[in-house]
Amino acid sequence: MRLRHGAILFAAGFLLSSTPAAAQDGFSGAGRAIDGDSLYVGSKEVRLFGIDAPEYTQTCNRNGQPWSCGAIAAGQLSKLINGKSVQCEAVDMDEHGRTVARCTVGSIDVNRTMVALGYAIAYRYYSSDYASAEESAKVNKRGLWAGTFEMPSQYRHKEQDQTERSVRRRAPAATGSRSVQAVSSACNIKGNRGSHGWIYHLPGMPYYSQTRAEEIFCTEAEAQAAGYRRARSR
């Protein structure tokens, strides 16, 4: 009898330990949109997996007229999730410490719906899961596809380049003997200040090209002395 009881306990322990990781990574909470592809689920900041929406300040063109596609995309996500119970399954963690996830509200797949409505694109660099939803939006000229727009990643890179040029113009006065040429070639560590703290990114790290530089450093020691910590690698 003791042997049988022990076997039962062992089997129960095995079943618990073999629970799929995805199930353990599920979480839920009240939704609140930040922009078109990120939100709060309870107190957790989440980036929607496999999609990319216009930046909040980004504008697009329709019938020759600019429109605030970034703000409207954020408004569309708000309609889907604000004040509602959002269920998510974590996929990854990004360099800003945000959880990257697939999310639903009831039976609504939030990631896919944003793409199908035309207010986000399928982020094929990471996943082709929502390519068919994008094709449908494109054929039916929904949202962004009703006119012309710059890819969100290109818009971010352009803003980043403008920020870096501004930083480099200020660099000689801030660094004394350091030349503009030295700053632009050897000093390529990007410092970014976000909701999860001050983080620096090295060339070759994930999201380096997408990171908006608010300060440029030549060495990790300089970045750390300025109060930044190294970004996590995937």
pLDDT, tens digit (0-9, with 9 covering 90-100), for 126-180: 999 999 999 999 999 999 999 999 999 888 877 665 555 555 555 444 443 333 3
- Residue 228: Cβ-neighbour burial (10 angstroms; 0-12, 13-18, 19+): buried
Buried b (16+ CB within 10 A) or exposed e, 108-146: ebbbbbbbbbbbbbbbeeeeebbeebbeebeeeeebbbb
Quickly name the fold that domain 20-146 has: OB fold (Dihydrolipoamide Acetyltransferase, E2P) (2.40.50)
Nearest to 118 by CA among 66, 153, 69: 69
CA distance 130 to 57: 24
Q: Where are the domains of the chain?
A: 20-146, 152-230
State the pTM of this model. Answer: 0.63
C-alpha to C-alpha distances, 187 to 16, 177, 207, nearest whole angstrom = 50, 14, 18
Q: Which tokens sit at 97?
A: 């410490």
Q: What does the pLDDT profile of the chain (234 residues) look like in tens digits? A: 444 444 433 343 433 333 343 444 899 999 999 999 999 999 999 999 999 999 999 999 999 999 999 999 999 999 999 999 999 999 999 888 899 999 999 999 999 999 999 999 999 989 999 999 999 999 999 999 999 999 998 888 776 655 555 555 554 444 433 333 334 446 888 888 775 678 888 887 777 777 777 788 888 888 888 888 888 754
